[in-house]
Amino acid sequence: MITSRTKKIQQQDIPKLRFKNFDDTWNEKELGDLFIERSERGGGEKYNLLSITLRDGIKKQESSNKTDNSSEDKSNYKIVRVGDIAYNTMRMWQGASGVSDLEGIVSPAYTVVKLKSGCVDFYKYLFKKPRTIFDFYRYSQGLTSDTWNLKYKHFSEVAVKIPDKQEQEKIASFLESVDKFIENLQTHKEYLLEYKKGMMQKIFSKEICFRDEKENLYPDWKKKKLSDFLIERNEQVPKSDQYPLMAFVAYKGVTPKGERYNREFLVNDNENKKYKRTEYGDFIYSSNNLETGSIGLNCFGFASISPVYSIFKITESCDHKFMGSYLVRKSFINKMIRYRQGVVYGQWKIHESDFLRIEEKIPSIEEQQKIADFLSAIDELISIKREQITNAEQWKKGLLQQMFV
pTM assigned to the model: 0.81
What's the CATH architecture for 223-360? Alpha-Beta Complex (3.90)
Q: Are strands 274-278 and 303-305 parallel, antiparallel or unpaired?
A: antiparallel
Helix (H, G, I), strand (E, B) or coil at 330: helix
What per-residue confidence (pLDDT) applies to 12?
67
Is pLDDT of 126 > 90?
yes
Q: 185-222: per-residue pLDDT in tens?
A: 999 999 999 999 999 999 999 999 999 999 999 999 99
By the 10 Å C-beta count (0-12 exposed, 13-18 middle, 19+ buried), 75 is classed as exposed
- CATH classification number, 1-26+163-221+363-405, choose in 1.10.287.1120, 1.10.287.70, 1.10.10.10, 3.10.129.10: 1.10.287.1120
Is pLDDT of 329 > 70?
yes
| DSSP code per residue over 10-57 | HHHTS-SS--TT--PPPEEEEHHHHEEE---B---TTSEEEEEETTTE
What per-residue confidence (pLDDT) applies to 38?
95
Domain boundaries for CATH 3.90.220.20 within the chain: 27-162, 223-360
Query: For a pLDDT cut of 70, what percent of the chain falls above it?
Result: 92
Q: 349-385: per-residue pLDDT in tens?
A: 999 999 999 999 999 999 999 999 999 999 999 999 9
What per-residue confidence (pLDDT) applies to 29?
97
CATH of domain 27-162: 3.90.220.20
Asked if residue 92 lies in contact with residue 140, where contact means CB atoms within 8 angstroms, the answer is: yes
With b for 16 or more beta-carbon neighbours within 10 A and e for fewer, the 315-339 pattern comes to: eeebbbbbbbbbbbeeebeeebeee
What per-residue confidence (pLDDT) applies to 54?
84
By the 10 Å C-beta count (0-12 exposed, 13-18 middle, 19+ buried), 46 is classed as exposed
191: Cβ contacts below 8 Å, ≥ 6 apart: none
Domain boundaries for CATH 1.10.287.1120 within the chain: 1-26+163-221+363-405
Q: Single out the residue of 280, 281, 284 nearest to residue 296, CA to CA.
A: 284
Beta-strand runs (E) in 298-337: 303-305, 310-314
